[in-house]
Chain A
Amino acid sequence: MNTSLSTPTLSQLIQRKPIDVSRLVVKTLREKGVKEILAYVGKRLKGLDEVVLDILSGLAVGRHIWIVGPVGCGKTTLAETIAEVLNLDNPPYIEVACHSHMTATELTGDIDIAVALQAGLDHPLAYIPGPLVLAHGRILILDEINRLSPYSQAALLQALQEHYVVIRGFRIRSDFLMIATGNPSEYSGTYDLSEALADRMKRVEITIPKRDLLKEIILWKAAIFIKDIDLDIDEKIAEVLATLAHLINKDSKIESEPSIRSCIYALATAASKAWIKGSEEISIEDLRKEVIQNMLPLIQGEFSSDEEKVKYLDKKFREALLIVSEMR
């Protein structure tokens, strides 16, 4: 990405003119066409056409988006890809990885009193703008928004609705469209979004894709990871993993299921293990081990120890294997 973002001075920021970002989105949609945008996104993520259209329609009418989904389903990649394809400015988006210790001033930026006293308020270092100010005329991606503390969430309210950021009495115009990503509230380390903040966003949900699509995604992504390895992956193995993911997902005992990312890496690491061993195909035993190693940290539910989790995964893996062999 070309980062031609120079630090503007406070007086330049105060004089900023409003930008109609939603109009820019509509213009891009007209120029590029919806099909081309979907094709561009399709090169990175599969099976998300409906979600992409939902996000684009929201952005085109100036609505901020909140993408919700389990870990590793491609929320951040989707947000980045959409911001890239819209390409509203250079750089096309500003991304912030939110965390619970993030303060409001980290989002807005603050005036350095020492520099302001020495060199005046208009010195480029007297006010270092935060992402909310830098995102003017662009897309702002807030990754894991529900990890922000309520105090920091409050800093977003004015910027999202009134398009102004106030820093020590100086009112700075900042027009942007936000694509936030977040996990459902059941996940650990997350805060509930305040009603006022949630009300300003459209909640678009991503769920685990259907079995056949999931199989395709696993095969496609794993092939990218092992492109330097001379090994053909059997479709059956991807099918086993997709079935396993769906089996665990359906289980009411489980609070958080294995991610698509973990399925892809289970296959990729199993393939590389087979290649290291000099074998031409992936053995079931290797795959079983890799599934356990990759999915174990993710599984949350009614388990008293890790051993129980291992047993559970082992059991489910065998079930998936049985289902696939029966189907074939």
Chain B
Amino acid sequence: MIESLAEIAVRVYEHLKDLPEVVYPGSVRSYIAAVKDAYMRLLLEDHLSPEKIIEIVSRTIYQNISASIVLENKADVFEEIKNTVIKALVVSSTEHKPLENFNSKTPILFREQEETEQESSKVLVVDRSESSLPSLKEAPLILTQESLTKSLEDSSFSIKRLKEKESFQINIVSRKTFTSIFEKAHPQYLREYDPSASAFDIDLTKTAINISRKRLFGRKFSHRDIIVKEFSSTDIKNTILCLDVSGSMRELEGEVPKIELAKRAAINYLKYLAHVRGKISFIAFNYKAETLFIFEDTRLKINKIESIISKLWACGGTNMYAALLKARSLQKLAPGRVHVIVVSDGKTVFKKKCLREARYLRKRGAIVSSIVVGSKSNEDFMLKISKIGGGVFHRLKSYKKLDKALIETESYLRKFYI
């Protein structure tokens, strides 16, 4: 049917071109729109008679081309268009019998089109009008073979994409680990001997010193002089995430501001923590540091934590020292070992104080990891922090991969210290 309508449109165009009062017979765009529109308009009509078809087709063509047509002395060309439509329909009815097609009450949408060779200009109009009819072709009431294969192709494509995503490698520029293997065997406490203690746990050096001292002064020695080593759990279950929310995070990375990407990454990381049953404290820092929550169980309060993080806003300068200071005060509240992760571009004030604070944290048993993001970042400084903190150092090009880096840091340390 589109072909018949296109033929009518081409005839109208040729006829108008020959008329003396027509300066410009209208744009190709308007004719393409006229063909599509006439097709749709005929579909909307309930009962079609030959007169009605002529009326609708000529009116729709006129409505679409009238805005782009240029006429002399405001002449009216509607009658001319109507006559051309009648002539075209009479001629084409002998060739393709479109009138019979129109006259039928069954929806024309499902009729199969016959492909015939046409003149070049008409082919152009047909091609372009059919290509721009996705809403009619792709959303039919009955699923056609074409649409079925297309949907199958689409789904196979999405499966391929999914597979590609799974095997996707993290685009980490560099990673260094400063964790110590001896740390695992390091005793946390010393206590007196009691019968339940294992003989292997006795600290021989300290016991020998005690006994030799007593012998030297001629005193009696008791079970109190036997010193036993006690090992605390090295398993990390508490994480403090320090995220940079300074003004530099407002910059767009591609289409999205860095802060939005960082927030998304943090939420993904929290979901991972909920999975491994970790507790988290969140410190957002710019020129000052704010603790958003203190060692919350991610598994139970993931929604609350997510809503808090989604409200973060980037502004101001960068003061990492304040964040590390806050982290040290939080460390006292933690029931076990603490892992501090600092995410920043490394451009901060009080660099020396930061290093000192990392040292304090390390002395108290915490592990400090750092992730530096962006090409214009202070990589050396962040490297120093993780070296002092005995953690993992990551350098990333983009915030898009931050969640992967966070998860990798966490899982690496968890595996290492179990």
Contact = CB atoms under 8 A, between A and B. Distances in A.
B235 to A, nearest CB: 40
Nearest to A205: B63
Contacts of A202: 33, 37, 63-64, 67
Contact of B41 (A15, A30, A54): A54
A63 B135 contact: no
Interface string B60-82: 10011011101000000000000
B260 to A, nearest CB: 6
Interface stretch (A21-29, A237-245, A290-298): A21-29
A199 interface: yes
Contacts of A34: 44, 46
A11 B33 contact: no
B256 interface: yes
B135 A200 contact: no
Interface in B311-364: 314-315
B355 to A, nearest CB: 30
B40 interface: yes
Contact of B134 (A15, A20, A63, A199): A20
A109 interface: no
B44 A122 contact: no
A61 B252 contact: no
A121 interface: yes
A23 B139 CA distance: 8
A54 B141 CA distance: 22
Contacts, number: 105
Interface in A24-68: 25-27, 29-30, 34-35, 53-54, 56-58, 60-63, 66
A62 B134 CA distance: 10
Nearest to B39: A61
Given A23-B134, A63-B64, A199-B27, A11 B40 contact: no
Given A23-B138, A61-B37, 11 more contacts: A11-B252, A11-B257, A20-B135, A34-B44, A57-B37, A57-B41, A60-B44, A61-B36, A193-B67, A195-B68, A202-B63
18 contacts: A11-B256, A14-B255, A29-B44, A57-B43, A60-B40, A60-B136, A61-B33, A61-B36, A61-B37, A61-B133, A121-B250, A121-B257, A122-B252, A195-B70, A199-B67, A202-B64, A204-B63, A205-B63
Interface of A: 11, 14-15, 20, 22-23, 25-27, 29-30, 34-35, 53-54, 56-58, 60-63, 66, 119-122, 193, 195, 198-205
Report, nearest first, the 5 A-B pairs whose CB atoms are least far apart.
A120-B250, A198-B67, A57-B41, A23-B135, A199-B68
